[in-house]
Chains A and B, each alone.
Chain A
Amino acid sequence: MNLNRRSLLQATAASFALPALPAFAQGIEELVIAYNVPLPSWDPTVGLSAVNPTIQGFYLSVFDRFIGQNPDLTPTPGLLTDWGWNEDRTKVSMTVREGVTWHDGSPFTAEDVAWSLARAADEKTGNPIQFIWSTLGNFVAEGNTVTADVVRFEPTVFKWMYFLTGFVLPKAYYEKVGAEGFEAAPIGTGPYMVDSFERNAFVRLKANANYWGGKPEFDTVTIKFVTDATSRVAEIESGNSHVTLEMPYEEYDRLKGTAGLAGIAAPISDIGMIFFNDIDAMLDPNVRKAAVMAVDKKLIVERLLSGYGVPIDTLETPEYLAFDASITTPYDPDGAMALLAASGFSPENPVKFTIQTTRGFKPKDYEIIQAIVGLWRKVGIEAEIEVYEIAKHFELRAADQLAPAAFYNWGNSVGDPTTSTGFAMFGPSPHSVWDQPDLIEKIAPLWGEADEEKRIAGWKDVSRYIADNALVLPLMQYVQPILHVEGVKVQPHASGALLPYLMTRA
């Protein structure tokens, strides 16, 4: 092309027509998704990204976990078609799916599984879940079977195979290109292959025609990283993107019925909760119980979250294995006042403590705490709100220095009680701030419980004990709003991962 004034003006004018914009009415050739977080790193097994629940959807598009997971969180055969312990729980055995290929066309083998597990267990690789993977050792691959010795019995080890860092990476390719080469050109066995990746901008995926689970519907998927919620709403409203998620519920309600757009809002595995730290006023059971009884969760969900939330009374949601619908903590402001009166408190002479919360990290987090403080005030609790960043929460929690009450959102996309009630409430865990020995004694035997039925029943008992003694204040299960054009059918995943593989043409 020759450089002259006319060609420059023509090209500039042509850009204003924006032929690349997706349109509502046209058939969708290339699916465009406006995603709320960027992808920092392609290795799903090491570093900060590996334990970031919000970016697991990227990894699940390109890689496969050892074991698959259905949209309702239940496990399903994946790269492993069969798995289990021997009779005395000293060995594990896994059967590897045959006929699977990596994105470069090389065959996927049991060697890849054994190498991935050994690498995850090696503390030098920087896998944050190494303490779980290292409970297995001496991996042996023979044919399509992988066996390993149980170093320490961990009843949830197979659950971690469809949870954080539980991905299978290509042994030969990784050893050939190294960590940097893999970061630059990652390959997996997943439904999509990485076509191009602009850090902080977008990732473009091409369908894996040889995917063992069936070729995805859309040949090309572009996922744009649009971190600002207003911009994401503008993206879908303008037709720049076909699918987006995590916008204010008011915007979701406004747009889901408009021409060409539809919405789907389903509960996900994230919950909102208030940690009680066993210090100051929280050592008084009456104060804790009153603090729980005085909160009208249903009202909060209806008024502040536009109804998009599920009130919960334990740290287990209905999708979790140890959910027990019979455990309830009803809203009872009169009962709360009576309990506080027994401890010498009243609206005129309130018990005082600090409650910490994030602001804008989760939908209406600060407003929810404001509402709770208002409800507490009516029964005789005066809580002072302290706003902090989520990073500070993590640091304070790890150091057991949270305020007597602290708002947080807990995610548990594997649905096991150890990764919700267990780690949140077991005193020795760095995630728990409730360190009283009675609860530690109840939880401790469950970590190594080999009988699954007994284990789940034990966790239900723990949940009941926690609810009866008001050791934590569970609030609600979050609902994830997804907006999409009518030409796309979106299947939500209870883990919160937005998966292009589950999207089809309507």
Chain B
Amino acid sequence: MALLRTILLRLLTTAITLIGVAVIVFVVIRVVPGNPIAMMLPPGATEADIDRLKALYGFDKSIPAQFVIWVQGVMQGNFGTSISSRQPVLGLVLGRLPATLELSLMALVMAVIGGGLAALTGTRLRGGRVEGAIDVANGMALSVPDFLWGLVLILLFGVLWPVFHISGRISPALDLPFATNFYLIESILRLRFDLLADLLAHMLLPALALAIPLAAIIAQLLKQSLKETMHLDYVTLARTRGYSESAVIWREALPNALLPTLTLVGVQFTFLIGGTVIIERLFSYEGLGNMAIDAVINRDLPLIQGIVILFAVIFTGVNLVVDLAYAALNPRLRHG
């Protein structure tokens, strides 16, 4: 019952959050300086031309009237038309979402593996030089932002030792048989490992740039959780039963230490998706973040609105999943 109540409450707050985001974004992007019509004005345009363009794009109406029209469209699955590309916004953002999700998930997997291994190694070899080295590496990874890691990786593996692609998502010369934009997943399902390899070669550096700071956070928190757990009675009991130190960490300490890390990973995943905006730009990766920057530069209001709403859905969705997973794993919530 308690779990059901939690789920319903979270769904309600998620819906309210999304409505709030929609209203705020709609108003804010229309009142900040810089409108798309002014950018579109050719030399010699008259006031009548300006009025004609405003009417053509619906900016001649008041903001509340524009909002009502937009909401009516959204109810019918129409998020408007991009001013710069003249394509339906929904199709554009959904077309780019898979690229960003695949990049983010790849970064998350790399961060979890890297951070997890660092934490386990640091815990296993605690008190020694290895733990010290891991702590120093963690500090470095945390203190350098992801876009700087991106630049370092471009320099190292794109210029000095050019073994990876530094721009794009896939080589333009390849024929793509994909039916969806989930290229990575589809290349695996179609057993097209040539395409998979090309995708990975493009994705590795941006994913790594995103993963490094997150891996450091995961390593730090998991190591701390493991350290605390290692002092608990049941772990001591496992030791007295003759378990090796590695078995104690893997079998006894790790399951309990994972819970706070899981929450952190969920929260950080949303930040990681936010981080794709800069990283995608840097690596010319054709995802949602790259599209967001172009939309802002062009003052493409319908597209900005669509992207922000989609980001909001992802953020609230991930948080919802994390909360529900936490509730399901937490016996006090599960049993009331």
Residues of chain A having any CB pair with chain B under 8 Å? 1-3, 7-8, 10-12, 14-18, 20-21, 30, 34, 38, 40-41, 43, 46-49, 51, 123, 126, 128-132, 164, 179, 183, 196, 198-202, 204, 220, 222, 224-228, 230-231, 234-235, 237-240, 388-392, 394-398, 418-419, 422-424, 428-431
CA distance A238 to B162 in the complex (A): 6
Taking a contact as CB atoms under 8 Å apart, the answer to whether A48 and B45 are in contact is: no
CB of B56 within 8 A of CB of A126, answer yes
Q: Is A15 touching B166 in the complex (CB atoms < 8 A)?
A: no
B42 touches A234 (CB 8 A): no
User: Given known contacts A2-B191, A40-B298, is B281 in contact with A227 (CB within 8 Å)?
Assistant: yes
What CA separation (Å) do A131 and B52 show in the bound complex? 11
B228 at the interface (CB under 8 A from A): no
Partner of A16, one of B49, B50, B84, B201: B201
B36 (CB) vs chain A CBs: closest residue: A48
The distance from the CB of B286 to the nearest CB of chain A, in whole angstroms, is 4
Complex: chain A residue closest to B198, CB-CB: A15
Report yes or no: B163 in contact with A132, Cβ–Cβ below 8 A.
no
Q: A128 contacts which of B41, B200, B283, B294 (Cβ < 8 Å)?
A: B41
Q: Using CB atoms, name the residue of chain B closest to A397.
A: B38
Contact check, B158 vs A238: say whether CB atoms are below 8 A apart: yes
Taking the closest CB of chain A, its distance from the CB of B180, in whole angstroms, is 14
Nearest residue, chain A, Cβ from B294:
A38
Do B85 and A41 touch across chains, with their CB atoms under 8 A apart?
yes
CA distance A330 to B119 in the complex (A): 68
In the complex, A352→B326 CA distance in Å? 61
User: Which residue from B39, B50, B84, B158 sits with its C-beta under 8 Å from A430?
Assistant: B50
Q: Which of A128, A200, A237, A394 has the most chain B CB within a 10 Å cutoff?
A: A200
Q: Contacts A231-B154, A231-B166 known; A423 to B43 CB distance under 8 Å?
A: yes
**Cβ contacts under 8 Å, B154 to chain A:** 230-231, 234
**Residues in A neighbouring B70, C-beta threshold 8 A:** none
In the assembled complex, the Cα of A397 lies from the Cα of B49 at a distance in Å of 15
On chain A, the residues within 8 Å of B123 by CB distance are: none
Q: Does B336 make an interface contact (CB < 8 A)?
A: no
Given A48-B298, A224-B284, CB of A240 within 8 Å of CB of B43: no
A sample of 12 cross-chain residue pairs with beta-carbon separation below 8 angstroms, ordered by A number, consists of A15-B198, A15-B201, A40-B84, A41-B87, A43-B86, A51-B42, A198-B172, A199-B96, A200-B96, A224-B168, A238-B162, A240-B167
Q: How far is the CA of A224 from the CA of B172 in the complex (A)?
A: 9
Is residue B6 contacting chain A, with contact meaning CB distance below 8 A?
Answer: no
Q: Are B34 and A200 in contact (CB under 8 A)?
A: no
Asked if B208 lies at the interface with its beta carbon under 8 angstroms from chain A, I say no
Query: A13: shortest Cβ distance to chain B, in Å?
Result: 8
Q: Which 7 A-B pairs have the closest CB atoms?
A: A391-B34, A15-B197, A11-B193, A423-B43, A201-B286, A394-B38, A15-B201
Establish whether residues A1 and B193, one from each chain, have CB atoms under 8 Å apart when the complex forms.
yes
Contact status of A392 and B33, CB under 8 A, knowing A15-B200, A238-B158: yes
Q: Known contacts A14-B197, A128-B45, A230-B154; decide if A391 and B299 are in contact (CB<8 Å).
A: yes
> A-facing mask of B209-230, CB < 8 A → 1, else 0?
0000000000000000000000
Name the B residues within 8 Å of A49 (CB-CB).
84-85
Bound Cα distance from A217 to B129, whole angstroms: 61
Chain B residues lying within 8 Å of A126, measured Cβ to Cβ, are 53, 56
Q: How far is the CB of B175 from chain A (nearest CB, A)?
A: 9
CA distance A129 to B171 in the complex (A): 37
The answer to whether A20 touches B84 (Cβ under 8 A) is: no
**Cβ contacts under 8 Å, A227 to chain B:** 281, 284, 290, 293-294
B67 lies within 8 A of chain A by Cβ: no
B124 at the interface (CB under 8 A from A): no
Identity of the chain B residue whose Cβ is nearest the Cβ of A223 in the assembled complex = B172
> Residues of B within 8 Å of A, CB-based: how many?
67
Distance (whole angstroms) from the CB of A152 to the closest CB of chain B: 13
Q: Are B42 and A164 in touch, CB under 8 angstroms? A: yes
Residue in contact with B86 in the complex, picked from A18, A46, A391, A424, CB distance below 8 Å: A46
Cα-based distance from A475 to B306 in the complex (angstroms): 40
- Which residues on B sit within 8 Å (CB–CB) of A388? 33
B44 touches A418 (CB 8 A): yes
Known: A40-B298, A179-B86, A199-B85. A131 touches B284 (CB 8 A): no
B141 at the interface (CB under 8 A from A): no
Q: Given the complex of chains A and B, what is the CA–CA distance between A131 and B46 in angstroms? A: 8
Do B39 and A231 touch (CB < 8 A)?
no
Query: What is the CA–CA distance of A439 and B281 in the complex, to the nearest angstrom?
Result: 45
CB distance from A390 to the nearest CB of B (A): 8
- Contact mask B9-53 → A, CB, 8 Å, 1/0? 000000000000000000000000111101111111111011011
Q: Is the CB of A199 within 8 A of B41?
A: no
Contact in complex: B46, A430 (CB < 8 Å): yes
When C-beta atoms are compared, the residue in chain B nearest to A241 turns out to be B167
For the complex formed, measure the closest distance between the CB of B163 and the CB atoms of chain A, giving whole angstroms: 5
* Chain B hits for A390, CB < 8 A: 34, 39
Contacts of A226 in B (CB 8 A): 167, 284
Q: Which residues of B contact A17 (CB under 8 A)?
A: 163
* B162 x A240 contact (CB < 8 A): yes
B window 156-211: CB within 8 A of A: 158-159, 162-169, 171-173, 191-194, 196-198, 200-201
Give Cα A274–Cα B173 distance, bound, in whole angstroms: 45
Contact A200 B172 (CB under 8 A): no
Contact A199 B95 (CB under 8 A): yes
Q: Give the distance in Å from the alpha carbon of A183 to the alpha carbon of B82 in the complex.
A: 13
| Neighbouring B residues of A128 by C-beta, 8 Å | 40-42, 45, 49, 53
A23 to chain B, nearest CB (A): 10
Asked if B86 contacts A202 (CB within 8 A), the reply is no
Nearest CB of B to A126, in Å: 5
Cβ contact within 8 Å between A199 and B83: no
**Contact partners of B151 in chain A: CB under 8 A:** 230
In the complex, whether B92 has a CB less than 8 A from a CB of chain A is yes
Query: Of the candidates B50, B86, B196, which one forms a contact with A47 in the assembled complex, judged by CB atoms under 8 Å apart?
Result: B86
* Interface: B320 (CB within 8 A): no
B282 interface residue per 8 A CB criterion: yes
**Residue B155 lies at the interface, judged by CB distance under 8 Å to chain A:** yes
Q: A11-B193, A30-B173, A430-B47 are in contact. Are A16 and B167 (CB under 8 A)?
A: no
Q: Which residue of A34, A231, A237, A428 is within 8 Å of B283 (Cβ)? A: A231
- Chain A residue with the shortest CB-CB distance to B162: A238
CB of A153 to closest CB in B, whole Å:
15
Asked whether, in the complex, the Cβ of A1 is within 8 Å of the Cβ of B191, the reply is yes
Which residue on A lies nearest to B280, using beta carbons? A200
**4 further contact pairs, Cβ within 8 A, besides A123-B52, A222-B173, A231-B154:** A128-B40, A228-B284, A238-B158, A430-B50
Task: Contact check, B291 vs A183: say whether CB atoms are below 8 A apart.
Answer: no
A48-B38 in contact (CB<8A): no
The residue in chain B whose Cβ has the minimal distance to the Cβ of A196 is B172
A22 to chain B, nearest CB (A): 11
**Does B45 lie within 8 Å of A131, measured CB to CB?**
yes
List, in ascending order, chain A residues with CB within 8 A of B41's CB: 51, 128, 394, 398, 430-431
> Which chain A residues lie closer than 8 Å to B165 at the CB level?
18, 21, 240
- Rounded to whole Å, the gap between the CB of B51 and the closest CB of chain A is 11
A230 to B158, CA, bound (A): 12
Given contacts A238-B166, A240-B166, A430-B47, contact A228 B159 (CB under 8 A): no
- Tell me, rounded to whole Å, the shortest Cβ–Cβ distance linking A14 to chain B: 6
Instruction: Give complex CA distance A224, B169 in Å.
Output: 11
CA distance A485 to B41 in the complex (A): 38
Establish whether residues A201 and B168, one from each chain, have CB atoms under 8 Å apart when the complex forms: yes
Whole-angstrom distance between the alpha carbons of A185 and B20 in the complex?
A: 39
A280 to B213, CA, bound (A): 51
